[in-house]
Amino acid sequence: MRTEGSLPTVPAWWQAGPFALVFLLFFLAPLALVLAVSFWNFNEYELLPAFSLRNYLRIFEGCLSLNERGDFCVTVATYLSTLKFCFLTWAATLVLGFAVAYFLAFHVRSPAMQTALFVLCTIPFWTSNVIRMVSWIPLLGRNGLVNQLLLEAHLVDRPVEWLLFSNFSVVLAFVHLYTMFMIVPIFNSMMRIDRSLLEAAGDAGASAWQALWNVVVPLSRTGILIGSIFVVTIVMGDFVTVGVMGGQQIASVGKIIQVQTSYLQFPLAAANAVILLAVVLMIIWSLTRMVDLRREL
Amino acid sequence: MSQDNDSGSNGLQRRSLLKGTAAILATGIAPAIHAQDKPVLRYLGTAVNQDKEIADKFKADTGITIQYVAVTTDDVTKRAVTAPNSFDLLDTEYFSLKKIVPTGNLKGIDAKRVKNADKITSLFTRGEVAGKKVGDQGTAPKKVIFLEGEKSKAFAKAPTQWMSLIPTTYNADTLGIRPDLIKRPITTWAELLNPEFKGKASILNIPSIGIMDAAMVVESMGKYKYPDKGNMTKKEIDLTIATLIEAKKAGQFRSLWKDFNESVNLMASGEVVIQSMWSPAVTAVRTKGIACVYQPLKEGYRAWASGFGLPATLSGKKLDAAYEFINWFLDGWAGAYLNRQGYYSAVLETAKAKMEPYEWAYWMEGKPATQDIKSPHGDLLAKTGSVRDGGSYEQRMGGIACWNAVMDENDYMVQKWNEFVAA
């Protein structure tokens, strides 16, 4: 009896074992380490094991009031700026990604064509992230192609400066880099929508827009959610794109962490990483409140 | 049966193979294998200092292979502190010694094993150029070049037998400008924040160096006179960063840069017309055929120096090879190579012996070029008749106002610098 009862669970444990081990070694253990180090002290050249809230206090130092210039403290200002990029990028990639996925799923009829167009979407991913970003610079710069075009068409009489090293260029690069992460999951859920539902909507007198809004959007919400999680987590942690496209003048949480690690302030960087993780988890948690991912999948 | 046959033929093959190998060994591959006995030195440093030609020439001269590991300035320090066994030879800046030496990760270099140690320029050992003291604000090499012993975590006050770093290259940095776009003389650091160049200026985003450039600007604007720019108090840091933030909010900076190539692109594309710059970056802009001047300024230069250090755990053949490399480096060929790039070498007389007299006159004596001046790669750098920016060695090095530094309040400075970036 005893063996019969426990038999099915033993192989199950064995099967889950390898992945659990990988998970433990490469995710949980480092995370626990980061959490532990975030409470340590440090000096110019070494980490001093301790349990102090110094790092957290320092991050939020002066955040209860505005500073002498009337700005928020660095941490709040940086998070606001990062959240702003996050929201703008999310909105832009959602609209674009949804439109592209809709076109691929409902307007392209033949599976061969669908596959071909889908592969076309992935072409930008064949080059490295940094190269894709840097390629914007000769296009948008003061003496870049866009400005030359505008000048020659006499649309402006001096080069447009906000095209590069600005909020605009950062969002543009993000959208360019990450729309694909929206397209894939949305396309995936759209392909699973029963086409007869759309016919039924049409038969019931719904216009194309009504069918889109009342049938397609609700049924692709898992895809939208998964895409959103991808985009939000990537943008929240990014520092390379913001650095290159923002001319190093725009703050991001990732950049602050990077500067701190390069100055051997690991505990401070760890504390920042823990806070960032908490913020991202809160965003994802509130997103999953809107859609029950487990049930939908 | 068939298996037996197979194993028989295999055995034969194996035997003949062994014979063949023995024959080859006997006929002269042996020396090549012996040469592979020479150690490989892992050379950790920044890409700017890691020339392929230097490694190739050293290999040709001695048979020792140099394996470059290229990372950024800040990462060199980070690795020296956190992973001291990941390299055999360290090429780092003097200012980072304040972080590395207290860890005990560096071995004192025995000056007795370095042939030209006593010929190293007095700028490093005494802080003098041609008998005259130069500015020593910040981490001047003379403050950190000597250690108290081979295994020491403290700097010596007076010269000793043990050196922390053997100098390789050094230079005096200033602002780079685009004379064709500015069209008027620039003579002071204050011009960096001149509203005339709004949206066309840049400063480097490496906090410990950027803050020094900013301090030069603050001083030349007449806002404040620092007792020691290289070791500011919290109040002084606040003041310096506030000046930067004010300028940033007014839109002064087009971009900040962190990487050598970024500064080249900003300048070459005309996005920026005045900025903090490094000498080889100016050279790189010029080799594109674009006018760029490394402008000497009346307040003087911000100097830096880098050198070779040995990790504490280095021993045996690798240690000998590292000393061999250091001795080779100071012997002239590498020095001449560096001088031709616009850097300066640690032992001037050996480098002079390996340079043409007209090259020496242009690069080191500040005289007009009597022939076209070419880079080590053969690119044209200066036409006949032109003079080097900043003049002779004595004029440039004598004009040092301060050195790149790690301050006592470094933590606070980095925090405030982040505030500047976020503003």
Do residues B92 and B233 both lie within one domain?
no
A146 found inside a domain: yes
User: Quick check: ipTM above 0.85?
Assistant: no
**pLDDT value at position B36?**
55
Lowest mean pLDDT among B58-67, B134-143, B254-263: B254-263
Cβ-contact B134, B172 below 8 angstroms: no
A102: domain CATH number is 1.10.3720.10
Whether residue B258 and residue A46 make contact (CB cut-off 8 A), yes or no, is: no
Structure tokens at B240: 């310096």
* pLDDT tens digits for range A42-72: 887 778 888 999 999 988 888 887 777 777 8
Whether residue A74 and residue B419 make contact (CB cut-off 8 A), yes or no, is: yes
Nearest CA in chain A to B208: A263
| Average pLDDT of the residues in A32-38 | 94
pLDDT: is B60 or A124 the higher one? Answer: B60
Instruction: Count A/B contacts: CB-CB distance under 8 Å.
Output: 86
Whether residue A142 and residue B271 make contact (CB cut-off 8 A), yes or no, is: yes
A19 found inside a domain: no
Residues of B in contact with A137 (CB under 8 A): 265, 269
Do residues B188 and B271 both lie within one domain?
yes
Do residues B280 and B414 both lie within one domain?
yes
Residues of A in contact with B406 (CB under 8 A): 44
B106 found inside a domain: yes
A23 found inside a domain: no
The partner residue sitting opposite A44, judged by closest CB among B270, B410, B419, is B410
Do residues B204 and B94 both lie within one domain?
no
* pLDDT tens digits for range B187-218: 999 999 999 999 999 999 888 899 999 999 99
Do residues B311 and B286 both lie within one domain?
no
Do residues B69 and B167 both lie within one domain?
yes
Q: What's the mean per-residue pLDDT of chain B? A: 88
B340 found inside a domain: yes
B372 found inside a domain: no
Rounded to whole angstroms, how far apart are CA atoms B103 and B113? 24
B128 found inside a domain: yes
Its domain, for residue A195, covers: 72-296
**Number of domains forming the structure of chain B:** 3
Q: What Å distances lie between residue B396 and B169, B174, B301, B402, CA to CA?
A: 14, 10, 8, 13
The partner residue sitting opposite B422, judged by closest CB among A44, A143, A251, is A251
**Number of domains forming the structure of chain A:** 1
Residues of A in contact with B207 (CB under 8 A): 259, 263
Whether residue B422 and residue A243 make contact (CB cut-off 8 A), yes or no, is: no
Rounded to whole angstroms, how far apart are CA atoms B243 and B218? 7
Lowest mean pLDDT among B83-92, B196-205, B330-339, B383-392: B383-392
Residues of B in contact with A46 (CB under 8 A): 81, 103
The partner residue sitting opposite A44, judged by closest CB among B98, B258, B270, is B98
The percent of residues in chain B predicted with pLDDT above 90, rounded, is 67
Is the model's pLDDT at B386 over the cut of 50?
A: yes
Rounded to whole angstroms, how far apart are CA atoms B195 and B249? 12
Rounded to whole angstroms, how far apart are CA atoms B410 and B408? 5
Residues of B in contact with A264 (CB under 8 A): 77-78, 81-82, 99
Its domain, for residue B265, covers: 175-299+392-422
B143: domain CATH number is 3.40.190.10
Do residues B218 and B333 both lie within one domain?
no
Whether residue B269 and residue A161 make contact (CB cut-off 8 A), yes or no, is: no
Do residues B202 and B309 both lie within one domain?
no
Do residues B286 and B410 both lie within one domain?
yes
Rounded to whole angstroms, how far apart are CA atoms A18 and A38? 29
Rounded to whole angstroms, how far apart are CA atoms A35 and A140? 41
In DSSP terms, B92 is beta-bridged to: B307
Do residues B118 and B185 both lie within one domain?
no
Rounded to whole angstroms, how far apart are CA atoms B107 and B93? 16
**pLDDT value at position B279?**
83
Task: Quote the pTM value.
Answer: 0.80
| Average pLDDT of the residues in A140-167 | 89
* pLDDT tens digits for range B216-234: 999 999 999 999 999 999 9
